[in-house]
Chains A and B, each alone.
Chain A
Amino acid sequence: MLTKRIIPCLDIKNGRTVKGINFLDLRDAGDPVELAQRYAGAGADELVFLDISATEERRKTLADLVYHVAEKVNIPFTVGGGISSVEDVDILLHNGADKVSINSAAVKNPRLINDLVAKFGSQCIVVAIDAKMIHGEWKVHLVGGKVPTELDLFKWAKEVESRGAGEILFTSMDHDGTKNGFANDALARLSTELNIPIIASGGAGNSHHFVETFIKGKADAALAASVFHFKEIEINDLKKELRANGIPVRL
């Protein structure tokens, strides 16, 4: 049986791991390669590296990081953050990334999804969507959630699917950093209306939140950062609890 995935997310700035609370107020949580190995050993099913650097050398720094992670880590990983062209993706995949995640660039130029899928295949193209509820409607936000758009979350998600993306990583800006649980209503709607896997992100505070997002939110995978980085949740314990709740996991 296909299992539900637990995905630690490592925010990367200038080659180091950081985690933002509500995407601001960064804290250093270590060396990404070491942390990645630790998570692979601890039972993580996948990893996501989200690059938030804004330097000129970011492209090379990120490619180097991907190369060193691929060298050491025997589970799949996705790289995202500022990816905006076929060439960007080509470099990352060639250095050993399994998947790439695109966000703002896809909203600005939806055609990019088709181009990437045609060149590299659906299986390695993840579209990340950051959204926030505004006057009762989920609206897509850009630039790490700072810039609102008029785009409706569900409409955009369907377009992303129809353009060939293999997976959607949905982050609720209303839940991210709150530790009050995932946006399960929106997740369940995404999971029901679309036929590609949905990764839940934003709001993990305890093990029960993961149980809820797999059952109520119908998520295929759940992503979190600080609860793992600061050892508030051990992945192995989390998976045992998921299994005890009838959720299939790899233990």
Chain B
Amino acid sequence: MNIVIINYGAGNIQSIKFAIERLGYQAILSDNEQDISTADKVIFPGVGEAGSAMAKLRSSGLEKLVPQLRQPVLGICLGMQLMCHSSEEGKTQGLGIFDTEVVKFPNRVKVPQIGWNQIENLKSPLFQGIPEKEHIYLVHSFYAPICKETIAESEYGLRYSAALGKDNFFGVQFHPEKSSAVGSQILRNFLEM
């Protein structure tokens, strides 16, 4: 299987590569359009700030490619957020795959949310074999509200989307590569789709 992790200079992608290797697969890091278009599975990572990550995506020409992909695509953390139509962070225009905006957590909770929270109302083959209320690891200040594309929910002062899904596109706010056995299973489900 040909797995590509999109390398556009955003974040800790080494950990995602290692997590895939622990599942017995190999992944390559690439920003090459040909590699990405012909991959069986595409992972769209990202940590950091939305505006600068989107600018990097634009300058590497991947902004147009990603929404046109037909194979399963998994956005992780900021990757998921950039797949939405916009983010309040840096007033950023996103890729518009998911029809929701991304907004900042209110000040009544500590921001960023850092740590292990639970996922529930799981509605996707991505979560096959994962019981409700399992714990996953998150680090984020912005969130996607509950919307029609929500496939997993979580709660931090309010309910928000822990994962989004539409056609061949999936996005997870949490880090499956850092979420112990539960995260490995979710990553495996994606790779074996």
Interface residues of A, Cβ cutoff 8 Å to B: 1-5, 40, 45-46, 67, 70-72, 74-76, 93-99, 118-124, 166-167, 195-197, 220-221, 250
Instruction: Give A97 to B15 CA distance when docked, in angstroms.
Output: 8
Instruction: Give A69 to B83 CA distance when docked, in angstroms.
Output: 30
Contact B139 A166 (CB under 8 A): yes
Contact A74 B49 (CB under 8 A): no
Q: Identify which of A5, A70, A94, A95 contacts B115 (C-beta below 8 A).
A: A5
B179 at the interface (CB under 8 A from A): yes
Contact A74 B47 (CB under 8 A): no
Instruction: Give A98 to B12 CA distance when docked, in angstroms.
Output: 7
Interface residues of B, Cβ cutoff 8 Å to A: 11-12, 14-15, 18-19, 21-22, 47-49, 107, 110-118, 135, 137, 139-141, 155-156, 175, 177-181, 183-184
B107, B114, B156, most chain A CB atoms within 10 A? B114
Instruction: Give A75 to B176 CA distance when docked, in angstroms.
Output: 9
Contact A96 B12 (CB under 8 A): yes
Instruction: Give A128 to B19 CA distance when docked, in angstroms.
Output: 28
**In angstroms, how far is the closest chain A Cβ from the Cβ of B182?**
10
Contact B110 A196 (CB under 8 A): yes
Which B residues lie within 8 Å of A71 (CB)? Answer: 18, 21
- Dominant secondary structure of chain B at its interface with chain A: mixed
Q: Which residue of B lies closest to A195 (CB)?
A: B110
Instruction: Give A195 to B141 CA distance when docked, in angstroms.
Output: 12
Instruction: Give A26 to B117 CA distance when docked, in angstroms.
Output: 36
Contact A2 B22 (CB under 8 A): no
Which B residues lie within 8 Å of A72 (CB)? Answer: 18
Contact A250 B110 (CB under 8 A): no
- Minimum-distance CB pairs A-B, first 10: A121-B48, A96-B14, A250-B135, A123-B139, A250-B116, A76-B178, A2-B117, A3-B116, A71-B18, A197-B114
Q: Identify which of B135, B175, B184 contacts A3 (C-beta below 8 A).
A: B135
B12, B137, B183, most chain A CB atoms within 10 A? B12
**In angstroms, how far is the closest chain B Cβ from the Cβ of A171?**
18
Contact A2 B12 (CB under 8 A): no
Contact A98 B112 (CB under 8 A): no
Contact B18 A96 (CB under 8 A): yes
**In angstroms, how far is the closest chain A Cβ from the Cβ of B89?**
10
Q: Identify which of B47, B135, B183, B184 contacts A124 (C-beta below 8 A).
A: B47
Q: Identify which of A2, A74, A120, A121 contacts B177 (C-beta below 8 A).
A: A74
Which A residues lie within 8 Å of B113 (CB)? Answer: 2
Which B residues lie within 8 Å of A94 (CB)? Answer: 12, 14
**In angstroms, how far is the closest chain B Cβ from the Cβ of A3?**
5
Instruction: Give A93 to B19 CA distance when docked, in angstroms.
Output: 16
**In angstroms, how far is the closest chain B Cβ from the Cβ of A184?**
18
Q: Which residue of B lies closest to A126 (CB)?
A: B114
Instruction: Give A167 to B140 CA distance when docked, in angstroms.
Output: 12
**In angstroms, how far is the closest chain A Cβ from the Cβ of B76?**
13
Known: A5-B115, A96-B14, A197-B115. A40 touches B180 (CB 8 A): yes
